[in-house]
Structure 1
């Protein structure tokens, strides 16, 4: 292992660089793009889906494909693909506890603030219904964040919504650094989505 690369710990993570806004005013208190009526409809469809295991399996497969497209887009910093995979109303909780938007995440890739050289999936769990899904990713990310090398073992929980066209998009995500990632002296923060 390269001696300049260290594993990130939550308490060592600096705030993201200038490409990402941390201003409280960036958080909107407007009603969510996912309305109460939409949530009710999703729950109704969820009940129907749970009774159809074949459909559920197909949905899990398609959500798994979307998750792996996301991993590939992160690795390539493919902003166009990330734009397609992340809903415009999406919010992310980063490993530093701050809240980020879709634009924050795209800017981190577009500006080169975050450049990944490896995404190693150790485990992926999937729950999918007709309109809503959750993925739980466990794995190791390696790259450069804010000019600093980093290796971090991460757990991501991503909530996805499925549009009328059948495409999955992230609507919310949470990232967590895991302490069992190896060397614990890193000073870098992995991305959000």
Structure 2
């Protein structure tokens, strides 16, 4: 019997994962003008936790600066880029089918995201869905975020459910790995704009409507 659904946020609830991917590439090109985008595979950037991301950015840039210096420069660049982004425009509103169905059927809801808690709250509030969630868990609460499964294991504990009573909806390779390592049945929200390995997921959904139908089928 299904007792809870756990959502990743970026790339699932809001279509920000690809926005982040684009911003990260632009930052790399700004920091390292000699890099050839046509000959560079940036796909490993997708879905990384913050600490992993800063290390990867440093490698692409070819810098010897500290991670803190890379972090500071990227966060300043990212903040400027996000000033023009409206989360409501990126909101996958069909998720309301799942949220309302879950509440009607007594199924708990959670967000488990590598983003900061403040950012998660900002996005959920902007989309008008914050109150649907029983647990909101950030990667900053754990020593290692995704692909480490701790973020999911701790979310399960807060929900007071077992892994076999839960479905996770993810999109990135690292997120899928984290959910599966926690023993959770996982639906991948299909990404077609970048080469993302989603093969470890149990199911693939092209949109929230298909995810909704899959969840109901699993719950029978």
TM value normalised by structure 2: 0.22
In terms of fraction of residues, the more strand-rich structure is 1
Which one scores higher on RCO, CA 8 angstroms, separation ≥ 6?
A: 1
In terms of fraction of residues, the more helix-rich structure is 2
